Structure 1
């Protein structure tokens, strides 16, 4: 009995709302820019028109929204011929923060086109104004007109006023610091962007043409009974895209249609501007039920689509309270997937049906598409033989790199001896330091059962250089004559045999050294660093370069035979070899300072000595 009595004594309390603090949040922190409040008022006007159509079926007039400004006051007003409000509705909905009549109607019928959801739109008026006045007449009581007035949203008055047509006019007396917003040109520009897809016409000032008079092409074509030629449809779409793409000219347009769990429709376009692989010029204007929610909704596009823009609209996506972003829910993920599919299928159709434009796309976005090809098997199949790989002999398709079913690739940023080797062999070598080249060629070689030699790696070097055995004393002698302390020394045979020696960077050892430096730990994320160290822990080579001596070279072989016969090569012979090494190494960006000058000096001195010897004979 005592336990039951204790439970029944618990009292529930009502959570108080500090309205002044709440209004301060709305006015200072909810929206990224005060101009969003104008969008909210136009949205409310739009919903009032739809509400009237829903509740008064015999009303057949065209909807109309008018936005006017009076710079001398300064003020902005929004007028609509929608449903209007009764006195009780003013108290219940207009003056109650968070209670939305539109939201109730949307819950009853989701597909009615209404936009409002949170009951915060009208409260946004106080972001801009020092006084808000609403004159309204409800279609339910057309003989009764009311005037709402408030200076802060916390207290307000409602009184009867002179008779006026059904609908509402919201007038904002702007704060002094926002007086510049009372500009016809400014309102036209802002609302022309926010309301571009709104179905109810919006007029600014005395303009005879609505700012949203141009229908989006996907709506216009869907409602037309006449089948348009594809070229005309593309022309319409390009013209519409140009209104939203401010940095580039749209090159071509790809349609987006509802797919799977996404209701999004609209257009995407490929930008007619050259990009690097890491360029990210994604831009998407997303409209929710006709009203712009976010003109930087770039995350809806896949990360590889850095050269894509778009205009999209949806009724299913859910906005945040500020209506400037979207909730990352299942609908959002379905939309991302649908857009990804639209891009991939659109690129395939473009390659098939518009080859001239396709070639321009490949030319402008070769690097970015190389990265894209690694993200999806269908893209790889489409692009694998279309993209150009940067090589020592210029750009060429991967298939043209193949020699005897082998592709050779340098991993470093400079060619050094590697470039010399393959120039002598007249073989193109892929430049692996360029964006996405390494993983793309690895994938290509695997797909075509080709052998990929990656210069500078242990596995790659083993395929190029056939290691040869020399007596230990002989090998040490060569190492002392030619190799530096930071250079590993290997006797090998390789082509072409006219090249006596070759100095190759050990890219794996180079990476290990870089990761072991303290600064590397600071620059790299923990996850990336761990993966890299797992690889480099297997690398035991500490010297950053490998000097290969070519025993197939006639000059080297002559010196070997000379030493076998008990003779020593002349000093000048060894100086010539060292000078040749320095001259070839001078191609590398990390060549030792002064080495080239010394080599040229030594060569010059040998020529002088030889000339003097001839003259004294």
Structure 2
């Protein structure tokens, strides 16, 4: 049996600091957050043993004209020598640890025991003076970025708590300036429950304010509207006009969802400001609310979510999923209450954030039932709320795509058919579900080929008169797998309408893809399209009510008919927003040149030749 030697990993502290500054933390400025976290946790730990102890955190900056020194002092629980060896010298250990590092709920912010290392990003030495509230000597700990540290017992006894001293290293001066410290302390600690004061050579200042009562009781925010809106503007940077209080059933997560004053894109970042144990951990939290809630910007505070190692994001776990669901339900419930008690308020929100409301309505039929009448849709008679459309028209049509709508909107409007454009996100789904939430609603999907049922057939005499010309026109478009039908329809200004069956649409898509594909893939697509060849015919309807079409078919000028039919065909493709293949583009190009040539060659009314 071979002998095995066991070795211990060696940690390169300089390398760890590089990882912290360049990969784990977003900026060296987080050193201040880590110091605040440790101070708050120390005070919280002491108050668990001494409930009447009044916590405070003091920050002092000195050293004008030379390297600045920052001191942060708390009157928390302090450290014993055993604590120092265990928690300040072991990377990954945490003084807040109890049992499993991730699973145990605590009253503390920090959980990974690496926060103090972030101070090496701005200082070449960390000095800690500490006195444990449990007794024992006062101690000095000095740590350096090479991984060495020393401990010294002090001759004098300090008051319980901890002081951390950092001397600015070259290149980090900006992180010790008064303006940076004031803004960063408030940025991270605006909601911390203990007073934080800053002492500089310019004077003394308390940074954070006493917390308003609605922080602990979000339901009370409604009666403090002006104050809540002012906090939102200061912390989030926008001027809001409305908000929704948030709170989970446990009461351990709460917040304010501010209604954004303007509409936002569906793909916009959901950047919410989240506080864990009242300390800011992220201003870019994207996974704290449901996807549909992109019309709000939130302040959220919690003591139940689990941070990642950077302490800037949350683990995607069952706890976060539950909190996200409850916060989403709080927003949904408030909107439903508005529909009943304050419809004008809800209409104002829908006016700016219809897309968000539609996203929620797609997910929640009950919500859709309550708000559908205020949802705006684009239709053939303009932008209208769905309630207006239902009041004015018994039967509504809708399309599946924007292209379908563009292809038939003019014809449908002329036939007095009200068509809703279902090509925008969520609109098709909502229109198809409308009968489920509104009794008596008659809705029907309208395909481009369906509009032809309103067209007027030619008389028997007209069919005889135009038979030869129609047959010739039909033959011209056989190479495009399109048949020609002569009809009368409105509007008369529209000379032609191109429609596709499902099979011909599939065939056309395959053939367009083949043109841009590699030889191998083109061969595969060719095999797929072979089965659609027989069924894949489109229809070009020519409008005999249109003066140009009427003259073309009555003129008997067969020489111009083939090129005219081809040009009407490509014009109908463009009017319907159909992409054209190479053959059709060639027809368009040659047809334009040919008509220009005919025009230049024709004689003017004086018998001269146009030049």
Q: Is TM more than 0.5 here?
A: yes
Name which of 139, 151, 159 aligns with 1:146: 139
- The answer to whether the 8 Å contact 2:470/2:484 transfers is no
- The answer to whether the 8 Å contact 1:385/1:399 transfers is yes
Cα displacement (A) at 1:365: 1.5
1:517 partnered with 2:507: no
Q: Which residue of 2 aligns with 1:502?
A: 496
CA-to-partner distance for each residue in 1:433-475, whole Å, 9 max, x for gaps?
A: 434333332232565552423333x5x4576569999999976
Q: Which residue of 2 aligns with 1:102?
A: 96
Question: Is the partner of 2:164 in helix, strand or coil?
Answer: strand
Cα displacement (A) at 1:186: 0.9
Please show how residues 267-278 of structure 1 align to structure 2 within 5 Å.
267-276=256-265, 278=266
Cα displacement (A) at 1:384: 2.0
- Give, in whole Å, the separation in 2 of the partners of 1:490 and 1:214: 79
- TM-score normalised over the length of structure 1: 0.77
Q: Which residue of 2 aligns with 1:373?
A: 361
- The answer to whether the 8 Å contact 1:285/1:295 transfers is yes
Residue 179 to residue 393, structure 1, CA distance change in 2 (3 Å):
same
Aligned residue pair count: 573
Q: Which residue of 2 aligns with 1:173?
A: 167
- The answer to whether the 8 Å contact 1:583/1:599 transfers is no
1:64 partnered with 2:53: no
Cα displacement (A) at 1:56: 4.1
Q: Which residue of 2 aligns with 1:434?
A: 424
Cα displacement (A) at 1:86: 2.6
Cα displacement (A) at 1:46: 0.8
Question: Is the partner of 1:389 in helix, strand or coil?
Answer: strand
Cα displacement (A) at 1:541: 8.1
- Give, in whole Å, the separation in 2 of the partners of 1:252 and 1:235: 10
1:331 partnered with 2:324: no
- The answer to whether the 8 Å contact 1:76/1:173 transfers is yes
1:258 partnered with 2:254: no
Question: Is the partner of 2:97 in helix, strand or coil?
Answer: helix
- Give, in whole Å, the separation in 2 of the partners of 1:216 and 1:125: 32
Please show how residues 125-136 of structure 1 align to structure 2 within 5 Å.
125-136=119-130
Q: Which residue of 2 aligns with 1:528?
A: none
Question: Is the partner of 2:211 in helix, strand or coil?
Answer: coil
Name which of 182, 185, 208 aligns with 1:212: 208
- Give, in whole Å, the separation in 1 of the partners of 2:173 and 2:493: 78
Cα displacement (A) at 1:131: 0.9
Q: Which residue of 1 aligns with 2:151?
A: 158
- The answer to whether the 8 Å contact 2:42/2:76 transfers is yes
Q: Which residue of 1 aligns with 2:521?
A: none
Q: Which residue of 2 aligns with 1:291?
A: 279
Moved more, 464-473 or 292-301: 464-473
Please show how residues 332-411 of structure 1 align to structure 2 within 5 Å.
332-401=320-389, 403-409=393-399, 411=401
- Give, in whole Å, the separation in 1 of the partners of 2:247 and 2:189: 21
- The answer to whether the 8 Å contact 1:445/1:452 transfers is no
1:240 partnered with 2:240: no
Please show how residues 440-589 of structure 1 align to structure 2 within 5 Å.
440-444=430-434, 450-456=442-448, 460-461=450-451, 477-481=469-473, 484=477, 485-486=479-480, 488-491=482-485, 496=490, 502-506=496-500, 509=504, 513-514=508-509, 517=513, 546-549=539-542, 570-571=556-557, 585=572
Residue 332 to residue 12, structure 1, CA distance change in 2 (3 Å):
farther
- TM-score normalised over the length of structure 2: 0.78
Residue 357 to residue 426, structure 1, CA distance change in 2 (3 Å):
same
1:420 partnered with 2:410: yes
Moved more, 121-130 or 97-106: 97-106
Residue 326 to residue 571, structure 1, CA distance change in 2 (3 Å):
same
CA-to-partner distance for each residue in 1:403-441, whole Å, 9 max, x for gaps?
A: 452324483459776343234334443334434333332
- Give, in whole Å, the separation in 1 of the partners of 2:548 and 2:400: 26
Q: Which residue of 1 aligns with 2:73?
A: 79
Structure 2 spans left out of the alignment, 5+ residues: 519-524, 579-584
Please show how residues 185-200 of structure 1 align to structure 2 within 5 Å.
185-200=179-194
- Give, in whole Å, the separation in 2 of the partners of 1:383 and 1:118: 47
CA-to-partner distance for each residue in 1:529-553, whole Å, 9 max, x for gaps?
A: xxx99x99996689796312468x6
Q: Which residue of 2 aligns with 1:184?
A: 178
CA-to-partner distance for each residue in 1:104-129, whole Å, 9 max, x for gaps?
A: 3999x977632222222222222322
- Give, in whole Å, the separation in 1 of the partners of 2:285 and 2:405: 42
